Amino acid sequence: MTDRDIPDIVVGRLPRYLQALEHLQLSGAQTTSSQELGEIVGVSAAQIRKDLSQYGEFGKQGKGYSVSYLVHQLQQILKVDRVWPMALVGAGNLGHAIANYPGFGQHGFRITLIFDNDPVHIGTRIGPLTVQDSARLVPVLREKKIKIAMLTVPVRAAQSVADQLVEAGVRAILNYASITLSVPDHVHVQYIDPIIYLQRMTYYLD
């Protein structure tokens, strides 16, 4: 079975398994079980066993999983066993907050370029980086071979920036703008939308 045959919904659960395993690792756990993982992630033990079995045999019957081994395997499967340089487009409040978020570096993601089209922001520094003019987006991203970009521009600018990212060869866009982007099939888009998370919780309120 090639990667392409595995449903996206299964792939979508793998980062959550990895996150749970990394928490277990930080807490000093050596081994875990599909039951324990399932309780952390909120998925059935059977589902976890089925999802992982798509990629190989990671545990021993009755012995559970080695936490560090499974972390390593999932990092390889998710291709986060390397450092990914990223571009950030949009140097407003949200862009600043994201640029200063230490979690990216801790997980192999490194923001190496920041762009904005506002003269107020262009040339200013955010940490070690200088905000560059969005007009240079396409040639700079091409030259640096950037494959991942984060979009923190206003809704009205999001689609045109996304078009430029596609033109520049970007293959994955993390979109914070609350708008559905139209991109070619070979480009992946994920949406960070707090509404979705809030609605998951109001369901349980009275």
Residues in contact with its own copies by CB under 8 A are: 3, 8-9, 11-12, 14-16, 18-19, 23, 42-43, 77-80, 84, 92-94, 96-98, 100-104, 107, 109, 147-148, 150, 171-172, 174, 178, 180, 188, 190-205
The pairing of beta strand 84-89 with beta strand 148-151: parallel
Q: Which of 139, 137, 157 is nearest to 149 (CA)?
A: 137
Q: Which is nearer to its own copies, 91 or 122 (CB)?
A: 91
Helix or strand or coil: residue 65? strand
Q: Which is nearer to its own copies, 59 or 95 (CB)?
A: 95
Distance CA 89, CA 79 (A): 23
Query: CB of residue 165 vs its own copies: minimum separation in angstroms?
Result: 13
Query: CB of residue 202 vs its own copies: minimum separation in angstroms?
Result: 4
Q: Which is nearer to its own copies, 160 or 190 (CB)?
A: 190
Query: CB of residue 111 vs its own copies: minimum separation in angstroms?
Result: 11
Terminal Cα-to-Cα distance of the chain (whole angstroms): 46
Query: CB of residue 79 vs its own copies: minimum separation in angstroms?
Result: 4
Query: CB of residue 170 vs its own copies: minimum separation in angstroms?
Result: 10
Q: Which of 65, 73, 105, 72 is nearest to 86 (CA)?
A: 105
Q: Which is nearer to its own copies, 80 or 140 (CB)?
A: 80
Please list, in sequence order, all residues whose beta carbon lies within 8 angstroms of the beta carbon of residue 140, skipping any fewer than 6 positions away: 113, 115, 132
**Cβ contact 51:10 at 8 Å:** yes
